[in-house]
Every structure is written in C-alpha cells, then in structure tokens.
C-alpha cells in the first residue's frame, strides 16, 4: 500500500513538473478570432498561418459556428466576448456596437486606410460617434447571369427596369426560365428587395421613418409592385425551393439569371466549375445613370474592449488590413475590399466595377430594419397573398410595434 | 408511523441541487428578465408590466398561439389513434412481434433535425414528382411552400417521429390487462369491439391520460420540426410560440419581451396539462 502511495506521489510530481515547464516555455498569447462567414474559413486559416509565422508568440484560434450571430449574442449575454471578431456589417453589428463592449478605433491610424463610405455605413448602423469596427470587405447585391445562355439568345445586360423585364420576357418566349427563385428560404427574397428598395425608397427613408415623418405605405409602393412582378418569370413552384437548391439549379444551367449577391458565386462555381457566369446590378429604375449598386460591409473587424491581450489583437487586425493580405482575401472570396487601393479584378464581376468607380453605391436597406420585424417573412407572406396595401400597412405596424418595445 | 431515516432526505440533496441550479434558477432568472428591457447583453432597466401589455396587442404572438394549438391538437389526436392501433396490433399473437416493436420504435430514436432534412427532401423533390405523375395538382408543388398546407407537412413529420414512443406506452399498458378478463368476456359472448370498449380501453385509461398529456405538452413545444422544415415560413404560417421566442429573442434582440412571452407560455402549458390530468383521471377505472 505504501509503495502504491509513493509511486502515486511520484507520478503526480512528474505531472506537475511537465505542466509547469511547458507553460514556462509556451509564453504564447492565445487569441480567439470569432468570425461569421463559413465560406471564409480556409482563407482566414491561410492568413492566420502566415500571421503566426511572422509572430511566433501569438496564436490565433479561428472560431466559426453555424448561426454565428445568434451564438455571439448568447455569448455576450454571458459576458463572454471573443478577443477579435469578424462580423457582417448589419443590424446585429449595430446593436453590439451600441452596447459599448467593442473597442473604439477612432484614433487608430489603420482605420484611415479604409474607405470613408464604408466607415460611414458602419456608423449609421449604431448611430454613435465612435468607430467600433473597421470595414474590411464589401459585398454586392447583384443579379448573376449565365453568359453562355445570354449569348445564345443574343441578350445584353439590361440597364433599366423596363429592359430587365423585357429580357425576362424574351427568355420566357424562347422557352427558357428567366429567374430561378428560391423563395422557400425567406432570406433570399431580401436580395431583390434590397436592390429595389435602395433605389426606390427615396432619400433618408430610414431616418425619416424613425422620426415618423414617412411610412412604408408612402415610399414602398413601387418596391412591392416590382418584386411581385418577378414571380411571373420564375420557375415552376418558386416557393418550393431554397438557396442551396437554387445554387445547384443555376449552376446546372436551369435558368438564365439568378438573383443573388456575389457571395453565391463561389458555392455555384463549386458545383459547376465550368459555368461561365457574370454579375450585374439589378436595374431597379428606368434611368440607367441613376441606378445604384447595393453594397455593404461584408466583414467588419472589431475587438473586445476589455481583451487581455490588446496589443496582440490589434496586431492581427493591422496584419489583415495590409494591402497584400487584403488583396489575397478578396481574390479568394470574390468580394470587394474596403481597404483603399485594393481592387477586385476578377472577370466575373467586371461589370460591377463602374459602380465602384463612380461611387453609385447604396447600403443594404434591410440592415436598418429592426431584425425583430422579420421583414423577409413578411415579404414572403405578401408574395403569397399579393395584397400590396395590406402588406405595406403590416410593415408600418410591425415597425411601430418593434420600436415601441 | 415509523420515522423515516434522515439518510433518505440526504439522498435527495444532490438531485435537488442540480435541479435547482440548472432548472429552477434559470427559470426564475427568466421571470426576472421579463420585467426588464434587456436585449440579451449590455445594460437594462426595469419596465414593469410593459412587456406583458405589449404582448396582449401582438398579432404575431396571437397567430403563433393559434398555429401552435392547431398543430398540437391535431398531432395529439392522430398520434394517439395511430399508436393505440399499432399497440393493439403488436400486442396480438403475431409472428416477428419483437422485431416489429423494435422497428416501430426506431423513428423516435432518430434526431428530429436529421429526419427533418430527409422529409424536407421528400416534400421538395419526391412528393411533387409523384403528384405530377398522378396528375394531382395540389401535390405537384412543394407543400412546405404553400401557406395553407405547410403545417400539414410539420404534422406528418411529428406524427411519424413520435408515434413510436406512445406505442411503447400503450403496449406496456395493454400488458397490464389480465387475460382472465378476456376469457370471462368470451364466455359471456362479448365480441372484439365490446371487449375493447368495456375491458381494454377502461383498463388502459391511465396510459391514455399520460399519453395525451405527454404528447400534447411535447407538441406545444414544437421547435426542431419547424426549424428543419420551414423555419416558420411561408410568411409566418408555421411559426410556433417557441420559434417566435427564439427568433424574436435571440435573432431579433427582443430578449426581455420574448422572455415575457415564454413566461405566459409556461403558465398556459402548465394549466393545460393540469386540466387534462384532472379531466382524464376522472375517467380511469380500477377493477
């Protein structure tokens, strides 16, 4: 018995020694990088490897979970804030930024490396003076089209809403499917909605709606009518299929156009690498020069105000913002950079470049709708029932209800 | 009366602590938050009964209640009829009885989310294919994309999934019925239906009670089924209370408001369960 006790103490001693020495050698800083884009996991991993090679004493652990925003919110509820975060520039980001748990980057030199338009978009989301995040990449809300099929019918990229509908009519007359609509997944309806609303709801709609100076009923008539019009040119059973089935179908050439943002390009090319596809901005208005491309901050980088390792975390953010790394990221992800002098040159999205040059960009309208309204589901319901007046009234009453809580 | 040894009280302590920490405490916390304007993180203040008053005027919550009850009542009835029938069949003297019992129980052991995605595939591709071939118009499209029919898809999944469990309970009930009673009934010249009506059913009434209460309670909490099939759509046609609480509370930043909703829902479910037990227990007999 005594022998056993002795060997046990020896064993414990050895264990203790091993742990203490290893922790002495491993004076490594460990950072959690929580990010919400599943498609970007490998790209970030490559960047992290590069970063760790340059900074051997910092270890960055990427954390990507499904439904990242919900997970993050529940973690924040427990006051468990990740060190570094890469989030979508949307309503949720605004809420988190307004809650005062993120670092204020206003005086940091690297903030100035990014485009002012996107900095402003982020500020509008939380309505405060500071900069609680750094815009990293931007996306674009587009219509994807099958270049080969367009060539078959001698079609050109439509520049106005009328041309857009004409194009769809021609395709339908030729026996093709103009759009593959994936309205089983409510969120996909927000894609055409955003393009239409951004161009048609008029200036300062959100500010005025917040002040109760205007209503959806006043400003969204055309938006609702035009989105309803799209139903005429979808495949059979537009409410029967969802996003992944839509990507698949468009990749297989089942439709001429597919109303999705640039984020869908990679998944589509994955199922059919030979697809010759392009992207154009949905022409929501009839004056081609006035049409705006809806573009928002795809990834905003930010960090916990109270992280244990602020220098290391800042170092990682600065690293990501370096031109070379920013370029690498957008080339891999087919997005656009918010860092100045870094441009997307891919031929697939070349038709969008004029918008970035002229600055005819508009933020995503739905990022400013309170998410408690669940606008996508409301639109889905409207597309089933088709009553514009009732739908716009619902939007207004839901807005009022959510604001009053 | 003999005094109970204090050891028995001590033995309940660990379970009591676990239950209190992981169940009672969060529930109390939830009730606390329902009187605040907490959004899930950051600062908050007290708002009294405002959340509950807003809830009364919330048409969306009302619709969710209607859907949830419609779904729960229909599913409970179908599940109980179906599982009673299956149990009667499996209790008879048939070949491969044990194999069948195992097979009928399998759906209950599978994760609803996994099965849900399979059913999603069936509703999206296979059923419309069959519908088109048979020329049935209503089946030729995905029923989950139809505002009036989507809830039926959810019912089908729920019934398929949970019948196995209720069958098991009915089976164990049927085995408590003594064979002599049937022999006596036979001698008296009672037919199969009379045997069922006057012997089997009254004797398994306690199991009927527990089955109704359990399935009703389970279906009122319906969540994963809808998550896997429709996410509450089309529109809000299949939004259950739990889904509304989740969507509004976690995704919509209305944590406190939806907690208030959850508190109300807790009271509703509790009173329904108590009511069911009271009413149904009156019907139970003891020979």
Tens digit of each residue's pLDDT (9 = 90 or more) over A174-183: 999 999 999 9
Over its C-alpha atoms, chain B yields an Rg (Å, rounded) of 23
pLDDT mean across residues, chain B: 87
B259 touches A at CB < 8 Å: no
Lowest mean pLDDT among A147-151, A320-324, A348-352, B258-262: A348-352
Lowest mean pLDDT among B19-33, B43-57, B157-171: B43-57
- Nearest chain B residue to A404 by CA distance is B54
Percent of chain A past pLDDT 90, that is, above it, reads 50
Side-chain-facing half-sphere of A125: CA atoms under 13 Å: 32
Which residues share a beta bridge with A102?
Answer: A304
The answer, yes or no, to whether residue A325 has pLDDT greater than 90, is yes
Q: How many CB atoms lie within 10 A of CB B173?
A: 21
Is the Cα dihedral B165, B166, B167, B173 positive or negative? positive
Mind listing the domains of chain B with CATH numbers? Answer: 57-282 (1.10.3720.10)
Mean pLDDT (whole number) for A286-309:
91
Mean pLDDT (whole number) for A75-92:
88
Cα–Cα distance measured from residue A158 to residue A165, given in angstroms and rounded to the nearest whole number: 9
Percent of chain A past pLDDT 70, that is, above it, reads 93
Q: What six digits make up the tokens of A282?
A: 């949905």
Q: What six digits make up the tokens of B204?
A: 């398994």
**What residues contact residue B120 under an 8 Å CB cut-off, 6+ apart?**
B144, B228, B229
Looking at residue B287, its pLDDT comes to: 56
pLDDT mean across residues, chain A: 87
* Identity of the residue in B231, B239, B253 whose CB atom sits nearest the CB atom of A95: B253
Reported as a pLDDT band with limits 50, 70 and 90, residue A13 is low
Which residues in A198-212 are b (16+ Cβ under 10 Å) and which e? bbbbeeebeebbeee
**What residues contact residue B245 under an 8 Å CB cut-off, 6+ apart?**
B258, B259, B261, B262, B265
Looking at residue A14, its pLDDT comes to: 57
Looking at residue A252, its pLDDT comes to: 93
Cα–Cα distance measured from residue B272 to residue B274, given in angstroms and rounded to the nearest whole number: 5
A378 touches B at CB < 8 Å: yes
Task: Tell me whether residues B254 and A186 touch, CB distance under 8 A.
Answer: no
Are the C-beta atoms of residues A367 and B221 closer than 8 Å to each other? no
Task: Tell me whether residues B40 and A370 touch, CB distance under 8 A.
Answer: no
Q: State the DSSP code for B3.
A: P
Looking at residue A26, its pLDDT comes to: 53
The answer, yes or no, to whether residue B189 has pLDDT greater than 90, is no
The answer, yes or no, to whether residue B1 has pLDDT greater than 60, is no
Are the C-beta atoms of residues A260 and A142 closer than 8 Å to each other? yes
Looking at residue A147, its pLDDT comes to: 92
B240 touches A at CB < 8 Å: no
Task: Tell me whether residues A237 and B145 touch, CB distance under 8 A.
Answer: yes
- Nearest chain A residue to B256 by CA distance is A405
Lowest mean pLDDT among A166-170, A267-271, A273-277, B282-286: B282-286
Cα–Cα distance measured from residue A204 to residue A207, given in angstroms and rounded to the nearest whole number: 5
Closest CA to B156 of B75, B68, B73: B75
Cα–Cα distance measured from residue A145 to residue A142, given in angstroms and rounded to the nearest whole number: 10
* Identity of the residue in B233, B239, B250 whose CB atom sits nearest the CB atom of A74: B250
Looking at residue A24, its pLDDT comes to: 45
The answer, yes or no, to whether residue A205 has pLDDT greater than 60, is yes
The answer, yes or no, to whether residue A3 has pLDDT greater than 80, is no
* Identity of the residue in B39, B145, B250 whose CB atom sits nearest the CB atom of A70: B250
Are the C-beta atoms of residues A100 and B42 closer than 8 Å to each other? yes
* Identity of the residue in B40, B230, B239 whose CB atom sits nearest the CB atom of A76: B40
Cα–Cα distance measured from residue B123 to residue B157, given in angstroms and rounded to the nearest whole number: 11
Q: For chain A, how many residues are written? A: 405
- pLDDT tens-place string over residues B215-246: 998 999 999 999 989 888 788 889 999 999 88
Q: What six digits make up the tokens of A73?
A: 């919110």
Cα–Cα distance measured from residue A20 to residue A4, given in angstroms and rounded to the nearest whole number: 24
Mind listing the domains of chain A with CATH numbers? Answer: 29-139+296-354 (3.40.190.10), 141-294+364-404 (3.40.190.10)
- pLDDT tens-place string over residues A365-393: 988 888 778 899 899 999 998 899 999 99
pTM (two decimals): 0.78
Looking at residue A126, its pLDDT comes to: 86
The answer, yes or no, to whether residue A22 has pLDDT greater than 60, is no
Mean pLDDT (whole number) for B58-84:
92
B234 touches A at CB < 8 Å: yes
CA dist list (Å): B74 to B68, B79, B147, B216, B226 = 10, 9, 17, 10, 16
């Amino acid at each position: 018995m005594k022998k056993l006790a002795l060997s046990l103490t020896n064993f414990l001693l050895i264990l203790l020694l091993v742990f203490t020495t290893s922790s002495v050698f491993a004076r490594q800083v460990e950072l959690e990088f929580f990010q919400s884009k599943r498609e970007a996991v490998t790209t970030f991993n490559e960047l992290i490897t590069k970063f760790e090679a340059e900074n051997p004493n910092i270890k960055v652990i990427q954390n990507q979970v499904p439904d990242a925003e919900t997970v993050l919110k529940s973690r924040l509820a427990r006051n468990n804030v990740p060190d570094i975060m890469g989030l979508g520039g949307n309503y949720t980001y605004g809420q988190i930024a307004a809650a005062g748990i993120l670092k204020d980057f206003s005086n940091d030199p690297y903030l100035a490396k990014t485009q002012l338009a996107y900095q402003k978009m982020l500020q509008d989301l939380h309505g405060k003076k500071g900069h609680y995040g750094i815009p990293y990449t931007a996306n674009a809300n587009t219509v994807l089209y099958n270049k080969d099929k367009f060539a078959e019918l001698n079609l050109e990229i439509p520049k106005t809403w009328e041309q857009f509908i004409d194009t769809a009519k021609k395709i339908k007359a030729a026996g093709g499917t103009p759009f593959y609509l994936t309205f089983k997944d409510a969120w996909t309806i927000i894609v055409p909605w955003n393009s239409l609303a951004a161009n048609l709801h008029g200036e300062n709609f959100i500010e005025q709606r917040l002040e109760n100076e205007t209503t959806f009923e006043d400003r969204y008539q055309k938006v609702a009518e035009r989105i309803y019009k799209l139903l005429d040119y979808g495949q059979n059973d537009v409410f029967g299929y969802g996003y992944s089935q839509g990507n698949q179908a468009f990749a297989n050439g089942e439709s001429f156009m597919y109303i999705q943002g640039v984020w869908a390009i990679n998944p589509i090319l994955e199922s059919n690498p030979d697809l010759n596809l392009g992207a154009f901005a949905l022409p929501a208005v009839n004056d081609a020069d006035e049409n705006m491309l809806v573009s928002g901050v795809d990834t905003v980088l930010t960090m916990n105000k109270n992280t244990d390792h602020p220098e290391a975390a800042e170092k990682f953010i600065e690293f990501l913002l370096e031109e070379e790394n920013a370029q690498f990221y957008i080339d891999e992800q087919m997005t656009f950079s918010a860092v100045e002098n870094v441009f997307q040159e891919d031929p697939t999205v070349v038709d969008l470049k004029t918008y970035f040059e002229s600055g005819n960009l508009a933020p995503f309208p739905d990022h400013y709708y309170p998410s408690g309204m669940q606008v996508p589901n409301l639109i889905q319901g409207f597309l089933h029932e088709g009553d514009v007046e009732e739908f716009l009234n619902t939007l207004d009453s839901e807005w009022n209800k959510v604001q009053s809580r | 009366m003999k005094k109970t040894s204090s050891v028995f009280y001590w033995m309940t302590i660990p379970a009591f602590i676990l239950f209190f920490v992981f169940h009672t405490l969060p529930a109390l916390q939830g009730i606390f938050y329902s009187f605040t304007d907490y959004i899930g993180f950051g600062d908050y203040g007290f708002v009294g009964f405002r959340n509950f008053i807003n809830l009364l005027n919330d048409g969306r919550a009302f619709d969710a209640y209607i859907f949830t009850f419609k779904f729960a009542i229909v599913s409970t009835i179908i599940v109980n009829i179906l599982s009673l029938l299956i149990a009667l069949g499996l209790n008879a003297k048939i070949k491969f009885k044990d194999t069948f019992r195992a097979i009928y129980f399998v759906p209950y052991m599978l994760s609803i989310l996994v099965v849900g995605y399979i059913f999603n595939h069936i509703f999206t591709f296979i059923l419309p294919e069959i519908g088109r071939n048979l020329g049935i118009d209503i089946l030729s499209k995905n029923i989950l994309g139809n505002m009036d029919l989507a809830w039926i898809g959810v019912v089908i999944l729920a019934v398929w999934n949970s019948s196995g469990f209720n069958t098991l309970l009915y089976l164990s009930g049927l085995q408590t019925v003594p064979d002599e009673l049937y022999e006596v009934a036979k001698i008296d010249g009672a037919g199969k239906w009379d045997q069922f009506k006057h012997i089997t059913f009254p004797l398994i009434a306690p199991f009927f009670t527990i089955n109704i209460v359990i399935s009703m309670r389970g279906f009122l909490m319906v969540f994963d089924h809808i998550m896997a099939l429709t996410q509450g759509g089309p529109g809000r046609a299949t939004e259950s209370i739990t889904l509304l609480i989740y969507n509004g509370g976690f995704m919509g930043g209305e944590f406190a408001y939806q907690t208030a909703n959850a508190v109300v829902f807790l009271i509703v479910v509790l009173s329904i369960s108590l009511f069911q037990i009271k009413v149904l227990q009156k019907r139970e007999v003891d020979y």
